Amino acid sequence: MKKIVETIGFLVFIQGVGGLLYEWTGWFRLGTLVRHIDFLSDHSLFVNIVLVVTGVAVMVAADAIKN
């Protein structure tokens, strides 16, 4: 269970970082889901920052899970 939560946190983190790279440089556009969702695309910079923070928080919280 701990590995699954860590993997989900890592994937959320990567989505956020990829979205930020796309917002700032125009690079890495295929890996970002936020820009494909219409109601999130207007606030994509904020949403990507939230994804990065959430991904880190989930990975840190995974350490609290006991096997």
> Which tens digits make up the pLDDT trace of 19-48?
888 888 887 767 678 777 888 778 888 999
Is residue 52 over pLDDT 80? yes
Average pLDDT of the chain is 87
User: What is the domain partition of the chain in residue ranges?
Assistant: 2-64
Is residue 13 over pLDDT 90? yes
pLDDT at position 23 is 85
Query: What's the chain's length in residues?
Result: 67
Q: H or E element: which one contains 41?
A: helix 38-41
Distance CA 38, CA 67 (A): 39
Confidence of residue 66 (pLDDT cuts 50, 70, 90): confident
